[in-house]
Structure 1
């Protein structure tokens, strides 16, 4: 593993002022004395007649100190001068020798600092441009492979539909065409696998180059001055596959082969994969730094929290027009969206005052969710549409679910994706959409091909990307990972378990309402039961909907009342 850069080291530790007996934060740096200074010592440094002309900068803008190397001709002197005429490093005494009379000299430390910055910049390019860009191209290949599989499967489905209507005439031709698609798919995937190998090799090469740059940057002598800048090979170019299309034939006894059609790769020039230009890195880096800062802030909060020994009631809301509060969503402004089993969806402020009311087709489902952008998204079962409500109360059609009836919905706090639980003709699935409404994933069956869901009526996402779903008809809490692979199922602690509202917290706990016992169960991230966190003994009559806000408060909606109660169980 490579050593952390100076900038990383500065971020990871508290910089102590270099003045004797001063333990304050050394946020400044004297390039002449080569030591960090606190604000007070910097001011004293400037006032001191002996040091008032020293260059003092912020610590992150400091010059790199020239490594100490003794002069071979004058062993008591350090080499710190560069003779521009002879192009060799010297000590100050060497510069007075006859062979250097009249020559021009440069400060060797200035040259070293420039060289160091240059190599650091090249190292930074690998870390911030070449590696992520190449990894992005590799991801692009994986997406193409997925698209190839989907397209080929779609083509095979179309072919089978035609074959079915003319089975007695076209069995032999259909078999040949299907085999052709498999060969074509294999060929395309082999091509993509070869491209993936190309980028694997290039990533390995970048790793070696990164190690080389790091080795040069960690030199403790002046060898760096005479090393030539290593050239980084350009990112290999690859081509995107030309996607096959299926040309359907016309039914005809005389021309069976033409009737069934054939799969062909269009005679089109492959499109080159787009490689992000270096100039675009600056904007990307700023965005990444902001995300890292937000991630660190969340991580810091997580590390300071733990389960409390007791659950404390914080406050209570009486929500108008929603007798039977079966689902709750808290938006970023801490305002509440609450719905009942009759389709009434209302928004209230912190005092419980009605802000807006919408009539929907929702009943006992978690059919609305607050987004990172401050919007609310809700499903319409009858119209099979998912709507978006903006803070200015504008309602727009967001996603059409086609033949599938959307029941539950959740907006990811990780990346803004939209998770939707759906049903159709006795089947059920969870579909992932991007925050712009593009379908990107369908989860329907486990590793053995068995149906995962029957009626996913409440849904949420955990901090590790797990998708957690309360299934009304299976009486089960079903959890899959972000790739859709089944992780575990939870069926309660008693003979009967009717899961309803579900949410997760900043520590990865899963909280689920059990209608059978009118309790709220607390599970760990791997589905292990920890405790009954709320029960009728604590004043919860019929818990149905739960959610967490940004302050780690738990909101509980109850059946048989319009009350939403807020609890604190993390400390």
Structure 2
């Protein structure tokens, strides 16, 4: 975590001095005593003969305390030194043994602090550079996929238009050719009609000549036969046979048609590598953004809610057996909790960390379970698209089938017992309200202007005024609608990036939401106004995912990198 982030967090909630009966801001840290100190106690610490040689630094430069580990050979001693020759950790008594005679030793705490800082630095790189940069590249790919779909659809439209144009030309040419056949037919028939008339005329002539010959051949007219000249018959007129047209079939094949219609070509060039911002550039931008936020915080006059404490106090923490991490936490009124991890393990535990039940589910890092006023557990099965109910006597029943929609988050209303379910389907997302008996009451999907409200509603809760508050990772926002489903506001964080995860509300209507990008928990008023960062890495919070508030107004926080749930008091 950067210095500016530490300072910003310190402005919002300070650490309490570790000296006895001192409640001042512990901005310094004694590396020998491993406790925060205020300025006055630091001065006294440096003056005291017993502690004057202790190393005191600013809190953000503190040396992390070496975990306690007992020596196997000397159980009353702690392992706290490191043999440089043997490359093994030892206790102080081991160093006096003969096998280590003349060896050189290092302070194991110094080595631990160095390694801790190294790994913390690498972890910070993952959170602030590698994860967000990879997410940006993934977003670029998604945008490229959308553009490819648009491009291919445009090509298909052009293909159809081109084909339609060719069809029209084929129809025009075919129509012209058919018209030409009619013209040719008319011309040929006219010529044949003329030839037919020629023979009609000749036949009439022959009949006339036949009558005349018959008259000469008559017995009574023999004298005419001798006196007349010899009659000659005109020859048969000659005509020509028509030459019928021949249709010459066009010579073409599929390739010829393909040439006419065109084809899709992939440019012959190497694809460009996506630009990955150097870590130095991203780090510089983050520092600049954090500095701007700090300056903005100093300039703004944000009035804190009077009922909020001036600091956050850790009440307790407990490990949950059976889970790898704590992605979501549900508290029921019997002081028992349900905790789920990224591997689908869902465990019921008491406040001492004792496992009571364990269920294998298809869930991951979503808010997919909730407890009802009757003490039932409700959880979703994404693979089967079913919502299950478990009664206090451990009876599991199939409660609601969601059809084509995949349920990814669920919340049981503390007002009327209704269930609010965040669901997704290819390209769509919505929130559905069911009655406590499983009857569908309401679908919330679009805003007043018809816009899609959600993309990935993976955590969901209800505020005291009936607002439905949804943590939407893909939108990078907390989306809030009223109980009628009308969009009220969307909260998009305080920095350049905002990865909202677990979300809950308290008795005063505050909205608490985890920002997995900055490793903080934000506190909002019920109208979406930012009040403060209630938890940050300064309170030893890393990757907060799941949050809920119990009946005693304690805030339970689950994290990505541990199966420990931490409990805080933030209301006075």
TM-score relative to the length of structure 2: 0.46
TM-score relative to the length of structure 1: 0.47
Greater C-alpha radius of gyration: 2
- Of structures 1 and 2, the one with the larger relative CO (CA 8 A, separation 6+) is 2
